[in-house]
Every structure is written in C-alpha cells, then in structure tokens.
C-alpha cells in the first residue's frame, strides 16, 4: 500500500499530503519489474568446509581429523565430489531442482580476519572499508526499485538509498494514527527522522495483520515469510535483506553449525513457499564475511579464516551445479598456510547475478561494485 | 535554567528527572564531575560464584538422571530441576533489571551511563545456559569496580571473569605443547583476537595475525573452575594447559611465567598508545557525536597517556572540553537510553520489574543479546530506522497512557527546559489529550536526540 493510500484510509488531513519529503513517492521508482532480489548475510563467518564438504579432497580429513568424523549421518552429494552437510535437506532438494547454486572458494578481497571490518567490507562492496554506502542500496538506486531490510535500522548493505525502508516484527500495540500525523509535522527539518517515519508508515499497513504462521518467533523462517509477504504486497518493492547471526563457531562447531544450517535450511524453504509463483522470478544471494581456518582448532571448532562459500538460490538461478575453482587444501595451496584460498571474488559473482537478473548494464554495475567483473556465462 | 544544564543532564546523564535541571544549572560541569563516584548494586542478588554452583549442580543432576533415569534420586532431582531453572532464569532477569532500575532512579546517572558504555565495550551474549547465568554478572563484578580507576585494571578484571572467558571460548583454549594440549586439546584464538581488536588497540592499529596467536597462547590455561571437580569457582589458571615458552608480542618478549606472562601481555596492550586513542575515540563518540572532533580525541588521548589510563581523569577532560558542549543534539538515543530516559522523565515504574526486559526487546536492544563481541552499535545509523521509530512511537504511546495525570507542558520544562522548538512546543500544547501530548514530547527530536 502506498503512503498516499494509507492516509486516505486513516483520514489524514490535506496538510499531510503536502509534506515535502516523500521517501517513496519519488518518480524515480519504476513500477516493479517483479524480479525480486533477496540478500541474506550470515554474520559470524560460516565455516564452508563443514557446509559444502570437499569429500573428494584427501587433505580435508587430514586437516580436520575430529570435525570430519563428527558428521555421522550421510552427507548429501552434489557435483564435483562435494557434498552438503546433512542438516541441509531442503537446500539439497533445491539443488536437485536446479534452484540452488553453491560457489566454493570465494572471498570479498578482505584478508584481515576481523568479523566487523569483514562484514562492513562485504556490505560496502567498494573494495574499501566504508560504512556509509552499501552495494545493495546502490543497486536499488540503479534499478530504481524499493527495498526493505528486515531489521530495526539500515544495515550497511542498505545504506545510501532513499528507496530503502526497514521492518521488524513487533508485538507492541500501535499508537493512534493522529500521533503519527503530528509527528510528521514535528520532524519537518529533521531529514533522518522524517525518512524513518515515512518508511515506517509506508509499511505499517502492509505489515499489519501479517502472520508468520507456525514459524518460531524470531526464527529465520518467520522473518523470510514476513519478508515474502511484504514483497508480494507491494508493486514497487523488489528487494530485501535479511541477516542471521551465530556462525562464529570457535568451539563445538559440529552441533552449533547443525542448528545454524537447519535454521538457514528451513528459512529458505519458508521463503520459497511464501513467495509462491514469484519464486520463479526470485534470486537469493547468501554470503558470509569470510571463511574459517582450514584446520580445526583445539576446541572442536575453527578460527577466523579467509576463503568461504556463497550461494545463489531461487527459481531464477541456473542451479544444480557447483561453481568456483577449488584451490586444494595442501599447506602450500592454503592462504598463508592457514585458510582456504579464495580463487574468485564474491563481488564478481554478485555483480554478475545482479547484472543478469536485473538487467543492469556494465556502467550501472560500476556504481554498485566499482571493482566488480561480470562473467559471461549465465548464472541466472 | 541554562542550556548547559540541559546538555549536562541529557547528553552526559541518562535524562532529567523532576527537579534535576534546577540542580544541574548551578554548575553543570561540577554537577557531572561529582557523579564520577562508584555505584552500587542490590547485594542480595547472587554473584557469579553462587550462580555457577547452582548451575553445576543442575548439570550434574541432569547427567545422573540420564544415566539412571529410574533411580529414586533421579525422581527427586526431577522435582528440583524445575526449581533451579526457575532460580537461574529469575536471577538473570533480576540482575538485568537491577541495573536498569538503578539507572532510572540514580542521582549519578552519568556513572550508570558509563556502566552501560563499558558493559557494551566488553559485550557478552547469552548463548547457552552457562552464558545466560554468567552474562549479567560481568558488569557488576569486573567493570563497575574499575570505572574510575585505571583502564588496564578493568581489562585484567574482565579477562579473569568467567563470563568473558566462557563467551570467547578461552576457558577451553590450551597450548598445543602443554600437557593438556598433548592430550588433544588445543588453541582457540577468539579471546586473544577480540582483546586486541575490540577491547584495547583496535583493528588496523599495527598488530599482526602472529601477534594475535601469541596473545592467545599467552592466555592459554586461563580457564574457569568446574565447581564439583575443582572444588572452587571462578577464574582458574590451569598451568598444565598453558603453552610453555616465551612469547613475542608487538616485538617484545615475554618470559614464561605461568599466569603472569598473560597478565604482562594484557597490560601491555591495555597500556598501548593505540588503546588510548581507540578507547578515547569510542568514549567521545558515545558522549558527544558520531563524528567526534579530532581536537577532543587528542585531549582525551593525551590525558589518558599522562595518567596511565586513569578513566576518571579522562572523563573529567571530556566533561571540561568545549567540544562536548555544542548546542546541536548530535547523538540519537539507543533503545536502552530511550527507555531509561523515558522512565526517568515520567517517573515510571512498571508493576513487574521484568517488564523492562520486554520494553527493550520490543525496541530491539535486549540486554546481553548483541550477538557479537563488538556489542550494540553506537551511532545514529544503527538505531534510526523506520521500524525503530515506529516501535518507539508505539511504546511511548503505551507508557504515556498510564501517565495521563502528568501535566505535559510542566513535564516538558522539567526535561528540556526552554530548549524546545516552537513546533514541538505547539504540538505538545495542542495535543488532543495528555497521553498524546506526552507521547509527542517523548517522540520529539529534542527527546530522541541528546
């Protein structure tokens, strides 16, 4: 529902209609190609070798004598000798239906192993430390669509665009509508508060009455379901961002990753189900700030590393194949004799996905990823 | 009432209570300096040692129940388990709420703001049963006692506290060449890294991956006692898990010496010049502006170095700096600040203290739930978003409804003095009801910012 419609419904005064700053009513927003792009960031550095397991590589179990043995259930085979962790049942089905595309040995180019700088780097997308402008916000600007971050405030990926709003489930009873009407006046002259309020009002109606079904409160499934509902209700909102935390598995990695992967697995399935037939036109990109050490550490886990894995999912992707170049796991093949060596760049894959899915040309992609290269082969 | 008093009470303190602006206006600078005094907690609440014993008993019972589920003892335990769970869960809430309650009612709210700052600086998250028990004890036991002393003492206390050791996995980090290491346990870099990156020097300040590993090795064996097996509680140095040999950190060699090796290494990073600058910048950013002026950071860093990191002196320097007293409200309140300042403003006390936790959850900042050792964000971009503003408006309206007997204009003067825009003034005066007037005041830019 557009903001204007909302005020018609609640009986807003004429004066409000004249408010100068309309976040979404700008003519720069096209009326929806309906090609949806959803970005899921896994905060904490997901361990790729325990997720997309290189079973063909004889060094794998040497580097991880204990961790590799903790996977007792049958792994889920995919191409080139890789296998998914047994927790990824739904993702494996997606893979078989050619709707999931894992890309191994990727990295953003960040090499210093700090979560927080690594996340900013991945979200900024400029190849530098930058928290003012995110690649997804720039893509949204180029595509001229609207976007929602499932969060209380804008994460770095979504900073730098007026077309971005935020939404998070809340149990609070809503304040009277005329409180919001007056707040609009109060915030004149305060650009940031105005933007927040407008964004909030925009989604108030859409999100109202939205039920997440049986999903556990606060779970990724609840959030992806809600996210799909928001995207489906709007004609102009074609982009969303979600995040999950808890991937920093320094200890007891196997059981923790089992939980995490199950949550991701269920969240993706819930997203697919809630998107309904729009899933066909949807691309989901999933990445993490960096990978973890190739060797297991002393506490049943892994420490901060470099190369990792990313995924593209959705009815729109050319799934059912494993992309990326495997660098090998011998000491001299590891980055600094420690981490999986990144052989391709996360931003290049994201640039390619965006360019193919949203038909952004190379000029537009330069605004999104200044360093990004576009691959010729279709991945979407 | 001077505008400086409004700044003192709102920007430095946790927001005005009735009559506070008047007190502050006599000498706003001195008013703040006088607040730099130790704070106290409800001492009837259990500490980490007591809680750990309960948790250990609980876990031991659980193990036995699994092993011999049909025994009489197991049936006995089944009854006790629920009680212990309730005891532990209740105390988590009580400890969190004690801090909130005291922040709201304190006459030295600057000190409580500092506690929140440091608690977030050394952020711990409640993952799992052990952390849910330990997390809220860190600020009480390791942080509060050192807020007006030397920074390196605070760091040492935190690094010795079970909450931090467990949260960042150091309790089970052992030297690969130690006795325990040779039995198959090993190194975990987590705490060593975050100590340097987050707690002290800051990322990009010149240390290397090799320094991180040396730091982590230096504190191998820094562990936590298991109450039944070790017959004690709290920090425990496990000498047979400590990596033997000397360590080289930032170009300096630290001789083998058991626990003292780690202490010397921690002290070195805590007293490093990069730490003085990193933490001064964070303090200035918290109190003054998302982009604090270099001149202010320099004054604080210089004072830090001159006093060996005396935090009271650094705070006095901050308070006495002109750069901290600009009129423009450049800081956007975090949800926690917003809840505390609202409760102070309206003298609001929920019927059940635990409601505080629901408030914070609804606004997106549950205690000890940052889910990251970096803690919650401290700049406007972290908190000023559509969902955040909507939930604040909804929450304020709910609170204001229960305070409808307050005179809105009088309350506004008590909080913000004359430092209110015409628009806000008119909106409050013309509101259709008292609760609505209060809601608008709480949601005004003047109250959302400080």
* Residue B171 DSSP symbol: G
For residues B314 and B390, membership in a common domain is answered with no
Q: Per the domain annotation, does B278 fall within a domain? A: yes
DSSP string, A296-323: --TTSS--B-S-EEEEEESTTS--SS-B
Residue-wise pLDDT for A70-117, tens only, equals 999 999 999 999 999 999 999 999 999 999 999 999 999 999 999 889
Ranges of each domain in chain A: 1-30+176-211, 31-169+216-368
Q: Confidence band (pLDDT; 50, 70, 90) for A15?
A: very low
Say which of A176, A203, A336 has its CB closest to residue B397. A176
Chain A residues touching B372 at Cβ < 8 A? 43-44, 115-116, 245
Q: What is the spatial distance between Cα B283 and Cα B280, in angstroms, rounded to a whole number?
A: 5
Q: Answer for the pair B28, B4: CB distance below 8 angstroms, yes or no.
A: yes
Task: Work out whether strand A82-84 and strand A76-77 pair parallel, antiparallel, or are unpaired.
Answer: antiparallel
Task: At A58, list the tokens.
Answer: 């004889």
Q: Per the domain annotation, does B55 fall within a domain? A: no
Whole-angstrom CA distances from B222 to A296, B71, B143, B192, B219 are 21, 38, 19, 11, 6
How many residues can be counted in chain B?
450
For residues B258 and B396, membership in a common domain is answered with no
Chain B residues touching A183 at Cβ < 8 A? 393, 440, 443
Residues 329-348 of A with CB under 8 A from B: 336
* pLDDT at site B371: 85
Q: Confidence band (pLDDT; 50, 70, 90) for A234?
A: confident
Whole-angstrom CA distances from A161 to A139, A142, A368, A371, B125 are 9, 10, 12, 20, 32
**Is A82 exposed, middle or buried (CB count within 10 Å of its CB: 0-12, 13-18, 19+)?**
buried
Say which of B185, B383, B440 has its CB closest to residue A182. B440
Which DSSP helix (H) or strand (E) runs through B230? helix B227-230
Whole-angstrom CA distances from B168 to A229, B129, B163, B224, B228 are 38, 15, 9, 12, 23
Residues contacting A181, CB < 8 A, separation 6+: A12, A13, A16
Say which of A166, A167, A299 has its CB closest to residue B186. A299
Residues 308-347 of B with CB under 8 A from A: 332
* Residue A45 DSSP symbol: -
Give the mutation candidate from A196, A206, A207, A237 for the B interface (greatest B CB count, under 10 A): A196
Say which of B188, B332, B397 has its CB closest to residue A297. B188
Chain A residues touching B169 at Cβ < 8 A? 250-251, 299, 301
Are A114 and B387 inside 8 Å of each other by CB?
no
* pLDDT at site A36: 97
B397 close to A (CB below 8 A):
yes
Q: Which residue of A has its CA nearest to B213?
A: A303
Count of the separate structural domains present in chain B: 2
* CA diameter of chain A: 71
Q: What is the spatial distance between Cα A205 and Cα A183, in angstroms, rounded to a whole number?
A: 17
For residues B212 and B280, membership in a common domain is answered with yes
Residues 45-104 of A with CB under 8 A from B: none
A24 close to B (CB below 8 A):
no
For residues B440 and B299, membership in a common domain is answered with no
Chain B residues touching A171 at Cβ < 8 A? 362
Q: Which domain holds residue B226?
A: 150-288+291-329
For residues B305 and B193, membership in a common domain is answered with yes
**Partners of B150 in the β-ladder:** B310
Q: Per the domain annotation, does B371 fall within a domain? A: yes
pLDDT at A194 over 70: yes
Q: Per the domain annotation, does B126 fall within a domain? A: no
For residues B322 and B191, membership in a common domain is answered with yes
Residues contacting B58, CB < 8 A, separation 6+: B81, B84, B85, B88
Chain B residues touching A196 at Cβ < 8 A? 384-386, 388-389
For residues B247 and B339, membership in a common domain is answered with no
* pLDDT at site A12: 31
For residues B322 and B366, membership in a common domain is answered with no
* pLDDT at site A33: 52
Q: Which residue of A has its CA nearest to B436?
A: A179
Q: Per the domain annotation, does B376 fall within a domain? A: yes
Among B409, B408, B411, B412, smallest CA distance to B435 is for B408
Cα–chain-centroid distance for residue B85?
25
For residues B352 and B249, membership in a common domain is answered with no
Q: At what angle do helices A177-186 and B422-430 cross, to 10 degrees?
A: 160
Q: What is the spatial distance between Cα A49 and Cα A62, in angstroms, rounded to a whole number?
A: 13
Residues 230-249 of A with CB under 8 A from B: 245-246, 248
Q: Which residue of B has its CA nearest to A253?
A: B169
**Partners of A164 in the β-ladder:** A147
B355 close to A (CB below 8 A):
no
* pLDDT at site B11: 98
Q: What is the spatial distance between Cα B367 and Cα B140, in angstroms, rounded to a whole number?
A: 14
Q: What is the pLDDT along chain B (450 residues), one digit of tens a residue?
A: 589 999 999 999 999 999 999 999 999 999 999 999 999 999 999 999 999 999 999 999 989 888 888 888 888 888 889 999 999 999 999 999 999 999 999 999 999 999 999 999 999 999 889 999 999 999 999 999 999 999 999 999 999 999 999 999 999 999 999 999 999 889 999 999 999 999 999 999 999 999 999 999 999 999 999 999 999 999 999 999 999 999 999 999 999 989 999 999 999 999 999 999 999 999 999 999 999 999 999 999 999 999 999 999 999 999 999 999 999 999 999 999 999 999 999 999 888 888 999 999 999 999 999 988 999 999 999 999 998 999 999 999 999 988 988 999 999 999 999 999 999 999 999 888 898 999 999 999 999 999
Q: What CATH homologous superfamily does A31-169+216-368 map to?
A: Alkaline Phosphatase, subunit A (3.40.720.10)
Q: Confidence band (pLDDT; 50, 70, 90) for A212?
A: very low
Q: Per the domain annotation, does B29 fall within a domain? A: no
Residues 13-32 of B with CB under 8 A from A: none
Whole-angstrom CA distances from B99 to A334, A371, B376 are 48, 48, 17
Say which of A172, A175, A192 has its CB closest to residue B362. A172
Which DSSP helix (H) or strand (E) runs through B131? helix B128-134
* pLDDT at site A207: 55
For residues B318 and B204, membership in a common domain is answered with yes
Are B203 and A114 inside 8 Å of each other by CB?
yes
What is the layout of strands, in order, in the sheet containing A237-244?
A: A164-167, A146-150, A237-244, A36-42, A282-288, A308-313, A100-107, A344-345
* pLDDT at site A356: 97
Chain B residues touching A165 at Cβ < 8 A? 385-386
Whole-angstrom CA distances from B183 to A294, B171, B239, B245, B258 are 21, 16, 14, 18, 19
Q: For residue B78, report the phi and psi dihedrals to the nearest 5 degrees.
A: -55, -40
Q: What is the spatial distance between Cα A343 and Cα B326, in angstroms, rounded to a whole number?
A: 50
Q: Per the domain annotation, does B396 fall within a domain? A: yes
Task: Work out whether strand A52-54 and strand A82-84 pair parallel, antiparallel, or are unpaired.
Answer: antiparallel
Whole-angstrom CA distances from B402 to B17, B343, B346, B435 are 18, 12, 10, 8
Cα–chain-centroid distance for residue A239?
10
For residues B364 and B317, membership in a common domain is answered with no
Say which of A114, A175, A186 has its CB closest to residue B423. A186
For residues B235 and B315, membership in a common domain is answered with yes
Q: Per the domain annotation, does B202 fall within a domain? A: yes
Q: What is the pTM of this model?
A: 0.81
pLDDT at A11 over 80: no
Among A369, A376, A377, smallest CA distance to A130 is for A369
Helices (H), A162-245: 177-186, 191-207, 220-233
How many residues can be counted in chain A?
380
* pLDDT at site B297: 98
Are B436 and A178 inside 8 Å of each other by CB?
yes
Task: At B178, list the tokens.
Answer: 């130690």
Task: At A198, list the tokens.
Answer: 């407008």
Are A176 and B362 inside 8 Å of each other by CB?
no
**Partners of A39 in the β-ladder:** A241, A285
B210 close to A (CB below 8 A):
no
Distance from CA of B225 to the nearest CA of A (A): 17
* CA diameter of chain B: 75
B2 close to A (CB below 8 A):
no
Q: Answer for the pair B378, B285: CB distance below 8 angstroms, yes or no.
A: yes
Which phi-psi region, left, alpha or beta, contains residue A162 (left: φ > 0; alpha: ψ -120 to 50)? alpha
Q: What is the mean pLDDT of chain A?
A: 88
Give the mutation candidate from B206, B386, B448 for the A interface (greatest A CB count, under 10 A): B386
Domain boundary among B279, B308, B329: B329
Residues contacting A35, CB < 8 A, separation 6+: A238, A281, A282, A283, A316, A357, A358
Distance from CA of A379 to the nearest CA of B (A): 34
Distance from CA of A147 to the nearest CA of B (A): 12
> How many A-B residue pairs are in contact by the CB < 8 A criterion?
175
Q: Answer for the pair B319, B111: CB distance below 8 angstroms, yes or no.
A: no
Chain B residues touching A170 at Cβ < 8 A? 362, 387, 390-391, 394
């Amino acid at each position: 529902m557009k903001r204007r419609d909302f005020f018609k419904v609640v009986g807003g005064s004429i004066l409000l209609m004249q408010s100068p700053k309309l976040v979404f009513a700008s003519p720069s927003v096209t009326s929806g190609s309906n090609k949806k792009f959803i970005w899921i960031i896994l905060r904490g550095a997901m361990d790729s070798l325990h997720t997309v397991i290189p079973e063909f590589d004889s060094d794998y179990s040497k580097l991880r004598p204990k961790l590799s043995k903790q996977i007792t259930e049958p792994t889920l085979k995919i191409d080139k000798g890789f296998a998914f962790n047994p927790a990824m049942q739904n993702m494996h089905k997606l893979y078989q239906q050619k709707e999931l595309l894992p890309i191994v040995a990727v990295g953003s180019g960040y090499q210093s192993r700090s979560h927080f700088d690594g996340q900013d780097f991945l979200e900024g997308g400029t190849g530098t430390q930058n928290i003012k402008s995110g690649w997804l916000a720039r893509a949204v600007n180029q595509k001229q669509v609207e976007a929602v971050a499932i969060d209380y405030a804008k994460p770095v990926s979504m900073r730098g665009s007026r077309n971005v709003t935020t939404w998070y489930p809340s149990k609070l009873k809503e304040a009277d509508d005329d409180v919001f009407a007056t707040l609009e006046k109060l915030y004149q002259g305060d650009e940031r508060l105005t933007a927040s309020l407008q964004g909030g009002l925009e989604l108030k109606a859409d999100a109202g009455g939205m039920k997440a079904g049986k999903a556990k409160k606060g779970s990724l499934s609840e959030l992806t379901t809600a996210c799909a509902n928001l995207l489906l209700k709007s004609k102009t909102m074609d982009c969303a961002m979600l995040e999950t935390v808890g991937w920093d598995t320094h200890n007891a990695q196997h059981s923790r990753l089992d939980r995490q992967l199950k949550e991701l697995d269920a969240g993706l399935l819930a997203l697919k189900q809630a998107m309904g037939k729009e899933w066909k036109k949807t691309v989901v990109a999933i990445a993490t700030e960096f990978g973890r050490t190739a060797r297991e550490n002393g506490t049943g886990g892994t420490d901060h590393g470099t190369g990792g894995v990313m995924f593209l999912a959705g009815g729109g992707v050319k799934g059912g194949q494993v992309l990326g170049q495997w660098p090998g796991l011998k000491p001299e093949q590891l980055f600094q004799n420690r981490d999986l060596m990144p052989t391709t760049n996360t931003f290049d894959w994201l640039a390619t996905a965006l360019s193919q899915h949203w038909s952004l040309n190379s000029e537009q992609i330069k605004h999104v990823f200044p360093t990004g290269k576009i691959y010729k082969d279709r991945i979407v | 009432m001077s505008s400086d008093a409004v700044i003192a009470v709102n920007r430095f303190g946790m927001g005005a209570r009735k009559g506070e602006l008047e007190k502050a206006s006599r000498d706003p600078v001195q008013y703040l300096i006088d607040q730099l005094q130790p704070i106290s907690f409800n001492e009837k609440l259990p500490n980490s040692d007591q809680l750990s014993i309960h948790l250990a008993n609980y876990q031991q019972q659980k193990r036995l129940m699994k092993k011999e589920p049909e025994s009489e003892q197991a049936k006995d335990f089944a009854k006790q388990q629920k009680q212990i769970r309730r005891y532990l869960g209740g105390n988590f809430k009580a400890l969190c709420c004690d801090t909130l309650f005291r922040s709201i009612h304190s006459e030295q709210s600057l000190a409580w703001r500092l506690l929140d700052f440091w608690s977030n600086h050394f952020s711990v998250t409640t993952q799992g049963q052990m952390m849910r028990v330990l997390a809220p004890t860190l600020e009480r036991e390791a942080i509060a006692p050192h807020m007006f002393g030397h920074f390196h003492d605070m760091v040492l206390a935190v690094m010795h506290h079970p909450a931090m050791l467990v949260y960042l996995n150091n309790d089970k980090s052992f030297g690969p060449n130690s006795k325990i290491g040779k039995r198959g346990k090993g190194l975990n870099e987590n705490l060593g890294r975050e100590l340097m990156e987050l707690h002290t020097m800051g990322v990009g300040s010149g240390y290397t991956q090799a320094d991180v590993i040396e730091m982590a090795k230096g504190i191998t064996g820094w562990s936590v006692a298991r109450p039944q097996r070790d017959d004690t509680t709290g920090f425990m140095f496990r000498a047979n898990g400590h990596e033997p040999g000397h360590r080289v950190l930032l170009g300096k060699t630290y001789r083998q010496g058991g626990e003292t090796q780690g202490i010397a290494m921690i002290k070195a990073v805590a007293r490093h010049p990069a730490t003085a600058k990193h933490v001064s910048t964070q303090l200035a950013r918290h109190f003054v502006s998302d982009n604090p002026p270099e001149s202010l950071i320099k004054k604080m860093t210089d004072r830090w170095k001159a006093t060996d990191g005396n935090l009271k002196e650094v705070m006095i320097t901050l308070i006495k700096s002109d750069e901290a007293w600009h009129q423009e409200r450049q800081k956007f309140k975090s949800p926690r600040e917003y809840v505390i300042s609202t409760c102070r403003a309206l003298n609001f006390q929920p019927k059940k203290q635990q409601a505080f936790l629901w408030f914070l959850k609804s606004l997106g900042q549950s205690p000890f739930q940052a889910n990251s050792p970096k803690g919650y964000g401290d700049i406007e971009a972290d908190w000023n978003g559509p969902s955040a503003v909507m939930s604040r408006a909804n929450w304020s309206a709910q609170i204001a409804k229960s305070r409808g007997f307050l005179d809105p204009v009088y309350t506004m003067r008590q909080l913000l003095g004359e430092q209110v825009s015409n628009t806000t003034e008119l909106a409050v005066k013309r509101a259709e009801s008292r609760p609505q007037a209060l809601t608008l005041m709480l949601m005004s830019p003047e109250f959302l910012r400080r």
